[in-house]
A and B are shown apart, each in its own frame.
Chain A
């Protein structure tokens, strides 16, 4: 059984300008021990999808879904008796069996709380341990994520840590209760290349050793190529293609996926071939297009693409893509 199963997740935000349809019918699942990458540009709905699942949406967000099952437990907000019951359940899950790593470590850490206190908090909230035991566990976590001289560092404040070290602390906090699922939202975007390499290596190692599942939200195809077993490509609030790392990189089916792969520079390629940018810009989710979200930028768009949303076509057990170009009937018209 899958660790997390999501079916037809929709997230709407009520704003002064109208309703923003941020996540539109997203379905996916992840197995225990697997790493799934969710790739998309800003506004594609990749972060909001995960915030909807973990229950950290802004107040004006409304989540509906046919199914969100995590570790055998139904966590669709609408299936709870009231908001309080949902919040309480999510509080038990968050930081315990499902943990999150955020992009910006400085806004996540409390600047006036010692690192030690921030590390012991999740341990003591979810386990019956004494303060001393929690302190010992915190030191062990710091060693695990490679922080030198933890005995000294545990009494310091976040500002005394560098960006890379802060991100290690965030990872340590996420690991505190041996989560089954770690959701990482652009965990290395704020870091320098050499520090990013250190943190990616750490996440990879922890994943292999702990057997936790990882969902990696990012815009960086290099990061998912390194860390993820499967990749979902999001565009305009939808998953337009999903498959194994090899299927996505070596046999992309959706024109957007192909476009993305064509417009990044690979330093290993030696020719000076021009990058092929994707013309135009992403759709406005206040007024999402009636048909395929990518239709306005798609070089091969058909008439049907403007009017109707494509269903998913299966290419293998793991690989599927939502595009009219893969319907024989549509192409002939």
Chain B
């Protein structure tokens, strides 16, 4: 892992207009609101949070499946936040995505070979079909499938195998950076570990960087070098994964970690958990001040009025008034 960032996201905002009807009051969902972070070369950056916190939107905005409202996405030295058309396409080659649902993300009418070949054709990386075919066979081997799978259709594969096809497709154009959006949450436990190990090995061999989005905190800790915790569109804490797990600073991180069911009966049955009251507020009318103030056990008057700014505490970032001096 080097110290050089491959991706620098600064003050990124992605808003969705959800106004119903022509004359109604304008309603905006601030799905990602003022998020900044870096992903270093050869690093896995884990992004965690509960449903609706904006982690998937953030991932999709970075690969430009959504248009950002404001902010910059500097990828390998160029700001791609507002690039379009051919200029954008050249960056797409270096930046790929693995999707959550291995059933919905593969075209059922294309063979495995066609699926993996498609990005090569779009980005024009091999001249002849034979070269492409050879590359497909090699990719199938890398992800642990057999060469004769090339003529088969996705329906003939299990969930874990489909996810391997999705990984092979992402690797087809030799990317440098892959956004993995919950790549294992649709898989069975014994298959999850297969896919995680595959992703780790590929990373080592090809020198890739990952943005790993997931809600399974145990797996994220296992695979990530650094972790960012999101809540209601904001990054509330960010740091080395061991630090964040063992010494969480933000009250939300503390509660989130305490909620993980530990697969060990002695610990699980005796552990005192911090139970949060209530649920995540709607992102349409987010609370004034700190987004977590409505559920935070330590919230003060100031938290309800004033939005905390990200500050550095002991080598990591936290956005919480408790740590301001």
B193 on interface, CB distance cutoff 8 Å: yes
Contact B197 A192 (CB under 8 A): no
Contact A260 B191 (CB under 8 A): no
Contact A226 B268 (CB under 8 A): yes
Per-position contact with A for B138-172: 1 when CB-CB < 8 Å, else 0? Answer: 00000000000000000000101100000000000
Contact A201 B273 (CB under 8 A): yes
Contact A41 B265 (CB under 8 A): no
**Residues of B with C-beta under 8 A to A220:** 261
B241 to A: closest C-beta gap in Å: 10
Per-position contact with A for B239-265: 1 when CB-CB < 8 Å, else 0? Answer: 000100110000000011111111111
**Residues of B with C-beta under 8 A to A200:** 261
Contact B221 A265 (CB under 8 A): yes
**Residues of B with C-beta under 8 A to A221:** 189, 263
A56 on interface, CB distance cutoff 8 Å: no
Rounded to whole angstroms, the CA-CA distance of A278 and B196 in the bound complex is: 12
Q: Which of B197, B256, B263, B269 lies in contact with A277, CB distance below 8 A?
A: B197
Q: Which of B191, B262, B273 lies in contact with A225, CB distance below 8 A?
A: B262
Contact B259 A196 (CB under 8 A): yes
Contact A219 B188 (CB under 8 A): yes
**Residues of A with C-beta under 8 A to B51:** 192
Contact A226 B269 (CB under 8 A): yes
A88 on interface, CB distance cutoff 8 Å: no
B299 to A: closest C-beta gap in Å: 16
Contact A193 B192 (CB under 8 A): no
B200 on interface, CB distance cutoff 8 Å: yes
**Number of residues of chain B lying within 8 A (CB) of chain A:** 44
Given contacts A192-B51, A197-B259, A267-B257, contact A41 B267 (CB under 8 A): no
Main DSSP-derived SS at the B contact region: helix
B-contacting 9-mer, from A59-67, A112-120, A268-276: A268-276
Shortest Cβ distance from B261 into A: residue: A222
Contact A263 B263 (CB under 8 A): no
Shortest Cβ distance from A297 into B: residue: B190
Per-position contact with A for B198-230: 1 when CB-CB < 8 Å, else 0? Answer: 001000000000000001011101100000000
Shortest Cβ distance from B157 into A: residue: A281
**Residues of A with C-beta under 8 A to B188:** 41-42, 219, 282
Q: Which of A192, A195, A259, A268 lies in contact with B190, CB distance below 8 A?
A: A259
Contact B190 A41 (CB under 8 A): yes
Shortest Cβ distance from B161 into A: residue: A281
B194 on interface, CB distance cutoff 8 Å: yes
Q: Which of A41, A192, A194, A226 lies in contact with B189, CB distance below 8 A?
A: A41
Contact B191 A281 (CB under 8 A): yes
Rounded to whole angstroms, the CA-CA distance of A246 and B217 in the bound complex is: 24
Rounded to whole angstroms, the CA-CA distance of A221 and B192 in the bound complex is: 14
**Residues of B with C-beta under 8 A to A259:** 190
Rounded to whole angstroms, the CA-CA distance of A194 and B48 in the bound complex is: 13
A266 on interface, CB distance cutoff 8 Å: yes
B50 on interface, CB distance cutoff 8 Å: yes
B275 on interface, CB distance cutoff 8 Å: yes
Shortest Cβ distance from B280 into A: residue: A192
Contact B191 A268 (CB under 8 A): no
Rounded to whole angstroms, the CA-CA distance of A42 and B159 in the bound complex is: 11
A215-250 interface (Cβ within 8 A of B): 219-223, 225-226, 245-246, 249
B residues at A contact (CB < 8 Å): 50-51, 158, 160-161, 188-194, 196-197, 200, 215, 217-219, 221-222, 242, 245-246, 255-269, 273, 275-276, 279-280
Q: Give the 9 A-B CB pairs with smallest separation, nearest first.
A: A222-B261, A263-B193, A277-B193, A197-B259, A192-B50, A265-B222, A245-B265, A275-B193, A277-B194
